[in-house]
Amino acid sequence: MSTAVYQAQIQNAEPNAVLGINMKTRSLIFAVLLTSLCCLNSVSGQTSVPEGFESVFNGNDLDGWYAMPTADPRKFAELSPEGQQARIAELESKTDEFWRVEDGVIINDGNGPYLTTKRNFRDYELLIDFKLEAGGDSGVYLKATPQVQVWDTTHEPSFKHGSEKGSGGLWNNGKGSPARFPTVHADKPVGEWNTMRIQQVGARTSIWLNEKKVVDHQIMDNYWARQLPIIASGPIQLQTHGGKMYWRNIFVRDIEAQEANEILATKQAEKFQSVFNGTDFKGWAGPTDNYEINDGVLRCKPKSGGTIYTEKEYSDFAVRFEFKLPPGGNNGLAIRYPGNGDTAYVGMCELQVLDNTAAQYANLDQRQYHGSAYGMAAAARGYLRPVGEWNFQQVTVVGSTIKVELNGNLILNTDLSKIDSFLADRPHPGKDRTSGHFGFAGHNDPVEFRNVSIKDLSTQATDE
């Protein structure tokens, strides 16, 4: 990878999208990074590890990799830890039948199972070079899910699949998805090396190919179960698809929670208006004495609660915020709340804010876990960060539909007008409300919130 290529990638990155820090600090770090890149020692095509990254391919052998047939990763997760290790050992013993390393390059002749990292990745940035031969068709699986498409864009038989549009798209996204094909054709001629950079926070995926951004912060669909988000953490895989492929310079950088939240918050930030000033309860109503504000953080006082809410009412809106759970923490989001009563029933709904891992919640109804429309619609589980870390969440309410995106993963997408089965058969008379307040429904636990902002969709297009 040349210094010019990586420098251009950095320049084309959105503000704060690479390191999630202020611009001056970011520029200083990039200057150090580029200085180190100027000293790259190219040996047989394998370069030095860029600052902040680590190599997942050592340039000599396939240590840390094994070849696994493509399969729903949930099936592998069902194995015991011992069963997983035994399966990896079995597959690793056969990897050399299909994959080899020559002069710092991973080579596959187009046959066999997919080369797979032993390590799993959650939020990360991947740098990888690839080269293909005429008619080549391959890809990169992210979290064991297909795929970032790589192919010969001049191969006419593949035009029926859209190959002429270029590599780098999330080809297995549903038809009509803005990420299915790249926004620009950025491939180099067949036989030349291409450099790809992939940034993935949750399922939110951005891709740069040869200095050009080709996918912009789009959700990667779960090919294996389209009604669910992709798995929270999984391996990187290199696909075999009948044509000879070459791969080199494979580097990964983990993205920590703070940076991940900043990346998620950056997208369309200018369209959201802050509704919490971090200092006082201006613009809010309800039992505010049951809450406290410290250093920009809103917290429900221990053994206190009640629903505090915005003075302004909303019909269609999107709200984004960060929250942090204590062990066993329980709170909720009041959606289209009328200003009094139990928001879970008199409002459109209460969206759960809950520590799903707490022992006391092990046997709840599925409609009571985090992100669920309480008692009505269950959210996907497994996408909360560890207790004590800040999470990023966005909720979008349009008509009778609600979407909940947690840490870049769409965990709930439901139409409440179609729900006729309720927890404990208790009706929800407020579920068809068309407007109301937004708020926090405290349940005696010191759950914390910050950076609360709302986009009023009654005046703006729903473009997410």
Task: Note the pLDDT of residue 219.
Answer: 98
When pLDDT is cut at 50, 70 and 90, the band that residue 461 belongs to is low
Using a pLDDT cut of 90, give the percent of the chain over it. 88
- Give the pLDDT of residue 242: 85
Q: Look at 41-45, 49-53, 321-325 and tell me which has the smallest mean pLDDT.
A: 41-45
Q: What is each CA distance from 306 to 286, 319, 323, in whole angstroms?
A: 8, 20, 17
Q: Which of 26-30, 178-182, 438-442 has the lowest mean pLDDT?
A: 26-30
Count Cα neighbours of 103 within 13 Å in the Cβ-side half-sphere. 4
Residue 463's pLDDT band, with cuts at 50, 70 and 90, is low
Q: How far is CA 198 from CA 123, 142, 207, 459, in A?
A: 11, 9, 5, 34
Written as six digits, the tokens of 164 are 């002429």
Quick one: pLDDT at residue 420? 94
Confidence of residue 38 (pLDDT cuts 50, 70, 90): very low
Pick the range with the lowest mean pLDDT from 25-39, 353-367, 450-464.
Answer: 25-39
Does the structure show a pLDDT above 60 at 35? no
pLDDT of 436 above 80: yes
pLDDT, position 11: 39
- Closest by CA to 314, choosing from 286, 339, 292, 289, is 339
Please say whether the structural domain 3-261 has been given the CATH code 2.40.50.180. Answer: no
Say if strands 349-354 and 212-219 run parallel, antiparallel, or are unpaired. Answer: unpaired
Query: Please, where in the chain does CATH 2.60.120.560 lie?
Result: 3-261, 268-456
Give the pLDDT confidence score for residue 29 in this predicted structure: 46
Q: What is the arithmetic mean of pLDDT over 174-191?
A: 96
Give the per-residue pLDDT at 19. Answer: 37
Beta bridge pairs of residue 51: none
Asked if the model's pLDDT at residue 252 lies above 90, the reply is: yes
Residues 233-243 as b/e (b if ≥16 CB within 10 A, e otherwise) read bbbbbbbbbeb
Confidence of residue 89 (pLDDT cuts 50, 70, 90): very high
Predicted confidence (pLDDT) per residue in 408-434, tens digit: 999 999 999 999 999 999 999 999 999
CATH of domain 268-456: 2.60.120.560
Mean pLDDT, to the nearest integer, of 195-215?
98
* Residue 39 confidence (pLDDT) above 80: no
pLDDT, mean of residues 194-215: 98
Cβ atoms of 140 and 150 within 8 Å: the answer is yes
Q: Let me know: does 335 contact 364? Beta carbons within 8 Å.
A: no
What pLDDT does 45 receive?
Answer: 62
3-class SS string, the chain: CCHHHHHHHHHHCCCCCCCCCCHHHHHHHHHHHHHHHHCCCCECCECCCCCCCEECCCCCCCCCEEEECCCCHHHHHCCCHHHHHHHHHHHHCCHHHCEEEECCEEEECCCCCEEEECCCECCEEEEEEEEECCCCEEEEEECCEEEEEEECCCCHHHHHHCHHHCCCCECCCCCCCCCCCCCCCCCCCCCCCEEEEEEEECCEEEEEECCEEEEEEEECCCCCCCCCCCCCCECEEECCCCCCEEEEEEEEEECCHHHHHHHHHHCCHHHCEECCCCCCCCCEECCHHHEEEECCEEEECCCCEEEEEEEEEECCEEEEEEEECCCCCEEEEEEEECCCCCHHHHCCEEEEEECCCCHHHCCCCHHHCCCCECCCECCCCCCCCCCCCEEEEEEEEECCEEEEEECCEEEEEEEHHHCCCCHHHCCCCCCCCCCEEEEEEEECCCCEEEEEEEEECCCCCCCC
Least confident of 10-24, 49-63, 287-301: 10-24
Strands 349-354 and 330-337: antiparallel
The residue among 324 and 24 whose pLDDT is bigger is 324
pLDDT at 161: 96
